[in-house]
Chains A and B, each alone.
Chain A
Amino acid sequence: MNRALTRWGLGGLAILSSIVVFLVPFAFIVTTAVMDSRQAGEFTLAWPRQFQFVENLTTVLQTRDYLLVIAFINSTVLTVVSVTALVILGAMVAFVLQRRKSRLTGLANFLVLTGLIMPPAVVPTIWVMQKLGLFGGMPGLILIEITYGLSFTVLLFRAFLATVPRELDEAAIIDGAGPLRLFFRVVLPLLRPVTVTIIVVQSVNIFNDFTNPLYFAPGDQNATVQLTLFNFQSQNLTSYNLLFMDILLITIPPLIMYLLFNRQIVAGMTSGAVKG
């Protein structure tokens, strides 16, 4: 009877509230990013009096000797290398963990859960990295991202492996495949769907990571995009248009990921969550 009312009334109300609650902040980012600095300093959601898209963009990129450009390169290297390593190392661990029950299984499961829940001990980690000469550089930061992302990756791979029939392994073994061949030629290609999910979710996580670059890779030459945001905040108060241009720029990569891989992202974040 009142199905139409629910459908249109409630839906319309929800759409209206979503505009106020979710779209306005994003509209604010976009408009402020293209304003001149005086209008941006007024903090109002308004149509830009003067469109300065190109000008603001070039200024942001040039600030502090192209720091943002360097940061984008750093973030890309960090994300690509860490995620690649995560996929290979995580799948190897999950493969043995899921297929072979041994004395190590219980310990490994425990460590995976610990890694998922426990916050890392910051200063002792820095101490260990200094002893190994890994502190303050990209290689060290990459290893850190691998360490902190491993648990989630293993859990997702393990859950998916449970659905891959063992008969496939056995067929390959009978054909004379060794463990490496079995894993890289037979099993890993079968994990493609979950691999895409892991790549997308971890890329977004690592690209957006702020805390670990802050602690483990200080210094301009290592800056990642998240750290550049504070440049425009502390330098001077009149550069809010540049701050929001920066925010806009670093929002674009996750947005593209979301448009392309919407389903995988949602699946990864909910499935990884369900049995955590």
Chain B
Amino acid sequence: MKRLSPYPNWFYLPGAIIYAVLFLVPTLLSFYFSLTRWTIFDSEFIGLDNFVQFFSEPALVKGFVNTFIYAVVTSGAKVVLGMALGLLLTSQIVGRGYLRAVVFFPVLVSTVGVGLTFQVLMNPERGAINAALGLFGFDGPGWLTDPSLALLSVALVDVWKGVGLATVIYMAGIVSIPAEYREAAKMDGAGPWAAFRKVILPLSWPATSTVVTLSLIGGLRSFDLIWAMTKGGPGFTSDVIASVIYKQYQAGFYGLSTAGNVVLFVAVTAVVVPLTRFLASKEVNA
């Protein structure tokens, strides 16, 4: 008699059914529906028209380009600031416990709450940020009202909210570097900059690759912060793919909205898959 495994495959089932019905099936369906003109009542096959529209209408193209700008700017800033804060908060400075707590807390706060708060703080005439800049004699910009600035202002708030996560990832990475390496570098006469370049930077590479991957995925998919702060405006200058998907859905263009989703899948895959390969190949064996 064959003994039954103590690890039965049916343990997969409850999770797998929910996942298949609400994630896999819709994902596969999206490839078909993105090729249709789809309203509440019915859908009609129209080939690639939605994609043609997506890449020819200026508002939609802007959303596509913005998605990448937003993702690259936020993850770049999170790497640099997260690394700097990680080094600072693992060094022997006063108030480390307080600093760690205060840098990390925004990660846990409601994104929409943060967005609406900064929308008020960034108000061009009455906001606290421009009032503070005014004290130093600077004329603060229209953070969210200037079309060339709105997306970057939202990205700035994204970094404010997310840098705590990057920081704790870097802290974990830096702490795990064996102390002998740093000491050896010091013995060899390396200054702080050389020690950073030759020891800390390469050995915290796993942390860097985690931060880059996480924030790129998050950045490409980002929706709620942008929606809370600008709703894609002024005009459509701070739209991203995720906000285009929502707007087209609200307007009843379900096919176009779904095409946006397919574009987003492709964008995420095209960025993340080669990136993780590249980052893994660069890892140093410590």
Mark A residues whose CB is within 8 Å of B.
3, 6-8, 10-12, 14-15, 18, 21-25, 28-29, 32, 42-45, 89-90, 92-93, 95-97, 99-100, 102, 104, 108, 111, 115, 117-125, 127-129, 132, 143-144, 146-148, 150, 154, 169, 173, 178-179, 182-183, 204, 208, 210-211, 214-215, 225-226, 229-230, 233, 240, 243-244, 247, 250-251, 254-255, 257-258, 262, 265-266, 269-270, 273-274, 276
Contacts and interface: CB of A to CB of B under 8 A. Distances in A.
Given A29-B117, A123-B258, A276-B214, A258 B105 contact: yes
Nearest to B107: A269
A119 to B, nearest CB: 5
B145 interface: no
B215 to A, nearest CB: 10
Q: Which 4 A-B pairs have the closest CB atoms?
A: A11-B93, A121-B30, A11-B94, A124-B26
A15 B95 CA distance: 7
B42 to A, nearest CB: 12
Contacts of A11: 93-96
Given A45-B128, A226-B112, A273-B214, A25 B118 contact: yes
A193 to B, nearest CB: 17
A151 B90 CA distance: 31
B109 A128 contact: no
A122 B245 contact: yes
Given A7-B92, A95-B7, A276-B210, A104 B258 contact: no
B172 A229 contact: no
A104 B9 contact: yes
B19 A266 contact: no
A99 B7 contact: yes
Interface stretch (B56-64, B135-143, B193-201, B261-269): B261-269
A257 B116 contact: no
Contact of B249 (A104, A122, A257, A276): A122
Interface stretch (B10-18, B72-80, B147-155, B179-187): B10-18
Interface string B89-118: 001111110110111111111111110111
Given A12-B94, A28-B117, A143-B18, A274 B257 contact: no
Contacts of B169: 270, 273-274
Contacts of B27: 118, 120-121, 124
A114 to B, nearest CB: 8
Given A93-B11, A179-B11, A6 B92 contact: yes
Contact of B112 (A100, A204, A229, A266): A229
Contacts of B190: none
Contact of B113 (A15, A211, A251, A258): A251
B143 to A, nearest CB: 13
Interface of B: 4-9, 11-12, 14-16, 18-19, 21-27, 29-30, 33, 38, 88, 91-96, 98-99, 101-114, 116-118, 120-121, 123, 126-128, 131, 160, 165, 168-169, 172, 206, 210, 213-214, 217, 220-221, 223-224, 227-228, 242, 245-246, 249, 254, 257-258, 261-262, 264-265, 268-269, 272
Given A104-B9, A127-B29, A3 B210 contact: no
B6 A182 contact: yes
B11 A128 contact: no
Q: Which residue, of B6, B98, B172, B258, has the highest number of chain A Cβ atoms within 10 A?
A: B6
B223 A211 contact: yes
Given A132-B21, A143-B22, A233-B116, A21 B160 contact: yes
B18 A119 contact: no
Nearest to B33: A124
Contact of A92 (B15, B96, B116, B246): B15
A144 B26 CA distance: 12
A258 B126 contact: no
Given A12-B94, A243-B116, A270-B168, 12 more contacts: A14-B93, A22-B106, A28-B117, A92-B15, A100-B7, A115-B19, A119-B221, A121-B26, A122-B246, A127-B33, A150-B18, A255-B108
Nearest to A204: B108
A119 B268 contact: yes
Contacts of A154: 15
A96 B7 CA distance: 5
Nearest to A90: B15
B210 A273 contact: yes
B117 A247 contact: yes
A23 B110 contact: no
B25 A229 contact: no
Contacts of A29: 113, 117
A233 B229 CA distance: 11
B126 A43 contact: yes
B214 A146 contact: no
B14 A147 contact: no
B102 A22 contact: yes
Contacts of A257: 108
B103 A18 contact: yes
B257 A266 contact: no
24 contacts: A8-B94, A18-B103, A22-B102, A29-B113, A42-B126, A90-B15, A92-B14, A92-B15, A95-B11, A100-B9, A111-B19, A119-B264, A121-B262, A122-B245, A122-B249, A123-B258, A128-B25, A150-B15, A154-B15, A183-B11, A211-B223, A251-B110, A266-B104, A276-B210
